[in-house]
């Protein structure tokens, strides 16, 4: 590559970074927070999520069933099955016509009585801050236009990453001897040198996780427009036989959980029921299965069993682990991007990545500002010699 060609790629890296750095830095910081959004939301709204410990805690499905029967103004959408004795039961609901804007209720752990309500929609308030963080991170609260914009930012970042790696290659001389130097930094170095070394070495050492974050960002932001159609083309969905299941309807939330346990045993699956979902449009009750009985996105996320509420028949299964390659290709994106794929180690890694990306934005701006006078002087010299 000629010196002029290298200068072109240097300019590409410099100005693409300047264009995206504000949005990239913002996404990096909010993404670090989103790793633990659910416990953070529960801590901020402890008056809704927590209560005094109870001595007897009846099965959660039975308490939610009683709530549904006594509160016809709400349609239950989903709720967790494992709720500690010192926590209320958070239930996502849809309010019927004429009811105020409520999408989540909280039930007493012992009695199932209604103890609190909220709207979890994005808002600059204690109740809506979790939704706000998620929305601004993903779409800047601008709907599809914001999603596409952030997708372009992620794609630009991905390209700029690889251009940056190329720019660490020595322009001349012994390649390996000189390139090895770009992987190191020392806090004893002069500040400008330290900023350069941190900018380069962090990109080199963390190339794989940074690339995964960028790729998953692009795929999720252009999911319907690009990623989904490509996956369907390359890995077509196959019709898989449903596991054997004895229909015992009509179902309640409690008996649906028992049905899910039976289906899991039929599949020789050791996972446990984690949450219950209700699809009012299809009149189906869903049960998610996870490795620990808590809703999580380890590996490729939960297995979903959906039962017809009236007949008890197993109607549909979403299982990325037993032959459904199409679903597996969809499911890997979020666990990798959020860091939940391998639990605590990868969650911490994603938080660190967010801080590193923000740091690279800061060092990048510093390097641009520090070297700008020399670039301006060089351009003036070239213009003067051309006259």
- Report pLDDT digits (tens) over 240-283: 888 888 888 899 999 999 999 999 998 888 899 999 999 999 99
Distance CA 125, CA 138 (A): 19
Q: Among 125-139, 228-242, 325-339, whose mean pLDDT is lowest? A: 228-242
pLDDT range class, residue 384, cuts 50, 70, 90: low
How large is the average pLDDT for residues 125-150? 96
Q: What is the CATH number of domain 52-121?
A: 3.10.450
Q: What are the angstrom distances between the C-alpha of 255 and each of 203, 287, 386?
A: 52, 11, 84
How large is the average pLDDT for residues 90-102? 86
**Collapsed DSSP state (helix, strand, coil) of residue 288:** strand
Mean pLDDT of the chain: 93
Total residue count of the chain as it appears in this document: 387
Residue 382 has pLDDT above 70, yes or no: no
Residue 349 has pLDDT above 60, yes or no: yes
Q: What are the angstrom distances between the C-alpha of 93 and each of 279, 310, 366?
A: 11, 21, 49
Residue 3 has pLDDT above 70, yes or no: no
How large is the average pLDDT for residues 349-355? 97
What is the reported pLDDT for 101? 86
Residue 1 has pLDDT above 60, yes or no: no
Instruction: Provide the strand spans (E) within 6-161.
Output: 74-80, 89-95, 104-107, 114-118
pLDDT in tens, 303-324: 999 999 999 999 999 999 988 9
How large is the average pLDDT for residues 163-177? 90
3 or 76, higher pLDDT: 76
pLDDT in tens, 208-242: 999 999 999 999 999 999 999 999 999 998 888 88
How large is the average pLDDT for residues 184-188? 92
What is the reported pLDDT for 113? 97
How large is the average pLDDT for residues 329-333? 96
**Collapsed DSSP state (helix, strand, coil) of residue 222:** coil
Residue 368's nearest CA partner among 192, 211, 178 is: 192
Q: Where are the domains of the chain?
A: 1-45+126-238+339-387, 52-121, 253-323
DSSP for residue 50 = B
What is the reported pLDDT for 386? 56
Instruction: Provide the strand spans (E) within the chain.
Output: 74-80, 89-95, 104-107, 114-118, 272-279, 284-290, 303-308, 314-318
Q: What percent of the chain has pLDDT over 70?
A: 97
pTM: 0.90
Q: What percent of the chain has pLDDT over 90?
A: 84
How large is the average pLDDT for residues 339-354? 96
Residue 166 has pLDDT above 90, yes or no: yes
Distance CA 303, CA 285 (A): 14
49 or 383, higher pLDDT: 49
Would you state the torsion angle of the CA atoms of residues 27, 33, 35, 40, taken in this order, to the nearest 10 degrees?
-150
What is the reported pLDDT for 376? 73
């Amino acid at each position: 590559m000629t010196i002029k060609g290298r200068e072109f790629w240097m300019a590409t890296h410099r100005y693409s970074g300047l264009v995206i750095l504000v949005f990239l830095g913002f996404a990096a910081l909010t993404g670090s927070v989103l790793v633990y959004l659910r416990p953070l939301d529960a801590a901020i709204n402890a008056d809704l999520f927590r209560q005094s410990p109870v001595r007897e805690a009846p099965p959660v499905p039975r308490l939610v069933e009683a709530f549904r029967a006594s509160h016809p103004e709400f349609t239950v959408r989903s709720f967790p099955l494992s709720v500690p004795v010192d926590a209320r039961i958070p239930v996502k609901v849809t309010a019927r016509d004429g009811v105020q804007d409520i999408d989540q209720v909280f039930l007493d752990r012992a009695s199932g009585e209604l103890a609190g309500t909220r709207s979890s929609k994005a808002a600059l308030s204690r109740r809506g801050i979790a939704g706000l963080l998620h929305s601004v991170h993903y779409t800047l609260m601008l709907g599809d236009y914001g999603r596409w914009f952030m997708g372009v930012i992620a794609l630009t970042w991905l390209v700029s990453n690889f251009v940056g790696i190329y720019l660490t290659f020595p322009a001349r001389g012994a390649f390996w001897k000189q390139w090895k130097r770009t992987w190191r930094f020392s806090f004893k170095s002069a500040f400008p040198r330290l900023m350069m070394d941190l900018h380069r070495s962090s990109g080199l050492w963390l190339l794989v996780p940074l690339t995964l974050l960028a790729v998953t960002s692009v795929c999720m932001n252009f999911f319907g427009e690009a990623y989904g159609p490509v996956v369907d083309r390359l890995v077509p969905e196959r019709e898989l036989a449903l596991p054997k299941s004895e229909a015992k309807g009509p179902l309640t939330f409690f008996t649906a959980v028992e049905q899910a346990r039976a289906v899991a045993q039929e599949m020789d699956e050791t996972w446990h029921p984690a949450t219950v979902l209700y699809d009012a449009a299809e009149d189906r009750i869903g049960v998610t299965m996870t490795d620990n009985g808590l809703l999580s996105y380890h590996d490729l996320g939960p297995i979903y069993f959906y039962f017809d509420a009236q007949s008890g028949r197993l109607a549909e299964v979403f299982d990325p682990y037993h032959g459904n390659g199409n679903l597996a290709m969809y499911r890997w994106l979020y666990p990798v991007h959020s860091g939940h794929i391998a639990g605590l180690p990868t969650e911490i890694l994603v938080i660190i990545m967010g801080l590193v990306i923000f740091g690279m934005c800061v060092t990048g701006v510093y390097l641009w500002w520090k070297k700008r006078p020399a670039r301006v002087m060089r351009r003036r010299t070239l213009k003067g010699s051309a006259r």
